[in-house]
């Protein structure tokens, strides 16, 4: 399942974030890549312990943990602290699949990468290229969202970032370990939850709502992985 999450940040917030990012020091993005990914990765990245990385990352997690669409689709258990990258001057990241497990820096916690998320921080009109290309059972999708919007997709997906030939593409990215490991099961639960919410809004007294809600939670109980 691939899903856009609108307005994690407002336009004004992304403007302030970019202004801060434009004035800071960056490192080679290969620093956090595995052996195979490092061969395909050509971008810049803020150090994981940089104050801006922590500040922006904490804001993202706080916003998404309260975002009904993200919570319904991702069913998050753990979230890897978000990282910040920049693609410019031809920077790109060729096709790859993310590592299955990520170790949290300076800690003992591990996060299984069930879902990948990119939060776009640059206005798409300010740079050329930089599309996130994702291949999975839903086909091939080319994603280039408005500043402040996010996209979530299965961590098992083959994906790449096209070369940025003009301007700079700033983004945050992270991984989520879901309560439900399998994407197909998460997708079914998301569809059920969406239908229940629509029925609750349109026909709140319908007797089938109790049965549908019960079926949702019984499936979640069967599939949850904690």
Q: Write out the two tokens for 219.
A: 């499936």
Give the gyration radius of the chain's Cα atoms. 18
Q: Is 62 annotated as a binding residue?
A: no
Q: Is 82 left (phi over 0), alpha (psi -120 to 50) or beta?
A: beta
Q: DSSP code of 114?
A: S
CB 6 within 8 A of CB 67: no
Q: Is 96 annotated as a binding residue?
A: yes
Name residue 135's beta-bridge partners: 140, 158
Contacts for 218-226 with beta carbons within 8 Å, 24 or more apart? 219/185, 219/188, 219/189, 219/192, 220/75, 220/179, 220/180, 220/189, 223/180, 223/181, 223/182, 223/185, 223/189, 224/179, 224/180, 225/77, 225/178, 225/179, 225/180, 225/181, 226/77, 226/179
Q: Is 159 annotated as a binding residue?
A: yes
10 Å CB burial of residue 23 (0-12, 13-18, 19+) is: exposed
| Residues of each annotated binding site for Fe cation | 96, 98, 159
| Residues of each annotated binding site | 96, 98, 159, 169
| Residues of each annotated binding site for 2-oxoglutarate | 169
């Amino acid at each position: 399942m691939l899903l856009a999450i609108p307005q994690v940040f407002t336009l004004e917030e992304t403007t302030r974030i970019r202004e801060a990012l434009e004035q800071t020091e960056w490192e080679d993005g290969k620093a956090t890549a595995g052996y195979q990914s490092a061969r395909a990765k050509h971008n810049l990245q803020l150090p994981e312990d940089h104050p801006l990385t922590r500040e922006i990352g904490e804001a993202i997690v706080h916003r998404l943990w309260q975002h009904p669409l993200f919570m319904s689709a991702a069913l998050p258990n753990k979230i890897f602290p978000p990282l910040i990258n920049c693609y410019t001057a031809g920077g790109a990241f060729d096709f790859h699949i993310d590592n299955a497990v990520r170790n949290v820096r300076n800690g003992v916690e591990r996060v299984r990468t069930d879902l990948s998320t990119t939060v776009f921080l640059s206005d798409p009109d300010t740079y050329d290229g930089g599309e996130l290309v994702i291949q999975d059972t839903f086909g091939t999708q080319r994603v280039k969202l408005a500043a402040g919007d996010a996209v979530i997709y299965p961590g098992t997906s083959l994906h790449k970032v096209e070369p940025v030939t003009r301007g700079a593409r700033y983004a945050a990215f992270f991984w989520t370990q879901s309560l439900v490991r399998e994407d197909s099961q998460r997708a079914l639960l998301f569809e059920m939850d969406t239908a229940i919410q629509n029925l609750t809004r349109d026909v709140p007294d319908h007797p089938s709502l109790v049965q549908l809600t019960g079926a949702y939670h019984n499936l979640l109980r069967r599939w949850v992985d904690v």
